[in-house]
Amino acid sequence: EVPSIAEHFDSSFLIGAAVEPHQLDGVQGEIIKRHYSSIVAENAMKPISLQPNEGDFRFQEADKIANFARENGLSLRFHTLVWHNQVPEWFFLDENGKKMIDETDQVKREANKELLLDRLTTHIRTVVERYKDVVDSWDVVNEVIADEATNARGMRESEWYQLTGDEYIRVAFQTARQYAGSDSKLYINDYNTEVSPKREHLYNLVTELLEDHVPIDGVGHQAHNQIEWPSISDMRRSFSMFAELGLDNQVTELDVSLYNWPPTPAYREYEDIPTERFDEQADRYEELFSLYRELDSIISNVTFWGIADNHTWLNDRAREYNNGVGVDAPFVFDINYQVKPSYWRIMNQ
């Protein structure tokens, strides 16, 4: 058996994996227990999974993950209290079933905003109370900054934003803190946090929120990376900027795609991937973990968005852009759960 990744990085940060409940048994369960010190639900703790209809909370799948963490002494990251994707429609419908966004009457718009923020508060209270004993880090809001700014502050113009401005963000953090207490940490999570001007938009938002005493503890950097992008210097800059505000950093959804964007052309089968490509990926993993080690005083968790190459959301993306055919291979374990060159290179750090 190969040495444990989590033990290897024990003095620096937690090592995590995103999991689906069905991955907790068998070989994958054993890998999680051996190599990771933290887990996060890939989908089971998103609003659409937890409250598909108003007041209809479904905890069964999420509980499997929380219990696995409890039973095995793993840290649990919670993903995510608020997001514009995988959130059920009912949040944004008024009492007559009309889309809040279509309301033009000012008085009704105000009432809708209150209703929406009440629903948000109820969701957060219910969920946080259930899992606060085991969660050490909460993704409170996910992806609130736009890729291409359509307003001066670069805010994503989601329904949340259009209906409440940035109040949904403030309410989410305040409510999370109120019910979670101060034993666990609250994160604002996003992707492309290395890239200008998105990075600056996030920085400016966080600065404003901190000035207003909104309880934010850290920034989650998704880190859906490619082999050639983004640059290490942009990453170092981003982690450092947020640390200078007194915030923690976590790497929350790490994967290293074999492709640039868009992921085309893609290899058709796993067996078609040349070994040279895995070697290039290993070079990349080495420089990433070398950076994380260098910055270990300002990074507390490095979580992969999966366990092994047999299960990755990047396969869906590869297929989406290649007429339904294509595979990616972003992790340090292969489709048979064997270590790849990338494993050895991160273990050198």
Three-state DSSP at 302 gives strand
Residue type, 227: I
Decide if 194 is catalytic. Answer: no
Closest CA to 312 of 249, 251, 270, 250: 270
Minimum distance from residue 313 beta carbon to ligand XIL (Å): 3
With respect to ligand XIL, which residue has the nearer C-beta, 179 or 313?
A: 313
The residues binding ligand XIL (CB under 6 A) are 42-43, 142, 222, 253, 313
* C-alpha atoms less than 13 angstroms from C-alpha of 8 in its C-beta half-sphere: 19
Specify the residue, 140 or 282, whose C-beta has the smaller distance to ligand XIL.
Answer: 140
Point out the residue whose Cβ comes nearest to ligand XIL. Answer: 313
Question: Which residue lies nearer to ligand XIL by CB, 222 or 300?
Answer: 222
> Shortest distance, CB of residue 239 to ligand XIL, whole angstroms?
19
Question: The tokens of 238 are what?
Answer: 């981003």
Contact 26, 335 (CB under 8 A): no
Catalytic option among 211, 253, 276, 294:
253
DSSP letters along 335-348, please? TTSPBPHHHHHHTT
In whole angstroms, how close is the CB of 312 to ligand XIL at the nearest point? Answer: 8
Q: Choose among 228, 130, 142, 252: nearest CA to 188.
A: 142
Q: Residue 42 or 166: which CB sits closer to ligand XIL?
A: 42
Tell me if 120 sits within 8 A of 167, measured CB to CB: no
In the complex, least distance from residue 114 CB atom to ligand XIL, rounded to whole angstroms: 28
CA atoms 62, 63, 65, 69: torsion sign: positive
Q: Which residues are catalytic?
A: 253
